[in-house]
């Protein structure tokens, strides 16, 4: 299985989603979710992660910009994500899932931040913009499609699916997906998207903990 060309791009994401599904029934410690996710990345995804960013500073600034997009609706209109379009039985509820006792647990917070800032940006960017955008263009041989190739259906389908992953925050998830997709097309470099995504999640984590905005940690 490790020889299949899609495995390095999709397996860490699938393992992470599987852990989230199990988490609904059985509590999995944050340290274990982080460790398993990073182990999968290190074992199977080293080849796609060779090299480095081409525009690190701009990627950092872009990540900060996406954070602003993410929180702006709720800052401007505090009840925004309680409208029926976002707060419903299909999309879920913008309440977060951090147990009250964990909000003051330094070990939990350390690994929850690590998941958000290290593991998630890598495994999601490999999957969404490294693999799926190209697979939609050529499902028989996605490797023939260069990273960052623009095709309208692939661009918008990935943005929409990325938005659906974020539940009640699908609107800002859609905006973020559009920005990250655009950045992949501009840079043709998965590391630039990883950095932007990591910065967004890092600043968001600081905002969640510092301002007590736990609803953003779904």
Q: What is the pLDDT of residues 8-44, one digit of tens each?
A: 999 999 999 999 999 989 999 999 999 999 999 999 9
Instruction: Please report, for the chain, the start and end positions of each structural domain, with discontinuous segments joined by +.
Output: 53-216
The model's pTM is 0.96
The pLDDT mean for the chain works out to: 96
Is the pLDDT at 204 greater than 90, yes or no?
yes
Cα–Cα distance measured from residue 155 to residue 153, given in angstroms and rounded to the nearest whole number = 5
Q: Which residue has the tokens 């800052």?
A: 75
Mean of pLDDT values over 174-198: 98
Q: What is the DSSP string of 102-160?
A: GGG-HHHHHHHHHIIIIIHHHHHHIIIIIIIHHHHH-SS-GGGSPTT---HHHHHHHHH
Distances (CA, A) of 111 to 106, 136, 151: 9, 34, 37
Residue 2 has a pLDDT of 54
Cα–Cα distance measured from residue 202 to residue 57, given in angstroms and rounded to the nearest whole number = 15
Percent of the chain with pLDDT over 70: 99
């Amino acid at each position: 299985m490790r020889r299949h060309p899609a495995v390095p791009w999709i397996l860490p994401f699938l393992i992470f989603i599987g852990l989230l599904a199990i988490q609904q029934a059985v509590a999995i410690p944050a340290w274990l979710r982080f460790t398993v996710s990073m182990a999968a990345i290190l074992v199977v995804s080293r080849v796609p992660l060779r090299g480095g960013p081409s525009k690190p500073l701009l990627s950092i600034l872009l990540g900060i910009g996406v954070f602003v997009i993410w929180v702006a609706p709720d800052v401007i209109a505090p009840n925004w994500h309680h409208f029926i379009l976002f707060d419903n039985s299909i999309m879920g509820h913008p309440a977060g899932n951090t147990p009250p006792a964990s909000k003051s647990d330094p070990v939990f917070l350390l690994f929850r931040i690590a998941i958000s800032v290290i593991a998630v940006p890598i495994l999601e960017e490999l999957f969404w913009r490294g693999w799926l955008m190209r697979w939609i263009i050529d499902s028989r041989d996605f490797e023939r499609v260069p990273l960052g190739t623009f095709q309208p259906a692939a661009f918008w389908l990935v943005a929409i699916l990325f938005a659906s992953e974020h539940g009640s925050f699908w609107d800002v998830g859609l905006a973020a997906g559009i920005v990250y997709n655009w950045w992949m097309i501009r840079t043709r470099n998965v590391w630039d998207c990883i950095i932007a995504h990591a910065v967004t999640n890092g600043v968001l984590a600081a905002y969640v903990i510092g301002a007590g905005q736990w609803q953003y940690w779904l």
